[in-house]
Amino acid sequence: MAIASIPLVYYKNIAWNPLWCKRCLICVEICPKQTLVLREDIIIEEENCIRCTLCQRYCPDLAIEVIPRR
């Protein structure tokens, strides 16, 4: 059985799932560096992410995560 691929959007530090995200803005509001913004229905990572993982931990839909360092 084929496993459906998850259409993640990759930024510098953050990966975001536009299908699972319900645009509740919890991640935008909890980010201590104002790194995340909602623009035209898309969550965008701007500058200053400190990889604190708060957005990942508080997202109720598992729709955002910090990309592991390679």
Q: How far is the CB of 3 from ligand SF4 (least distance, A)?
A: 22
Q: Can you list the alpha helix ranges (DSSP code H) found in the chain?
A: 26-30, 54-58
Question: Binding of ligand SF4 at residue 37 (CB under 6 A)?
Answer: no
Q: Is residue 3 helix, strand or coil?
A: coil
Hey, what are 53's tokens?
């993982």
List CB contacts of 32: < 8 A, sequence separation 6 or more: 50, 52, 54
Q: How far is the CB of 1 from ligand SF4 (least distance, A)?
A: 27
Question: Binding of ligand SF4 at residue 39 (CB under 6 A)?
Answer: no
Question: Binding of ligand SF4 at residue 33 (CB under 6 A)?
Answer: yes
Binding site for ligand SF4 (CB under 6 A): 13-14, 21-27, 31-33, 35-36, 43, 49-55, 59, 61, 63-64, 66
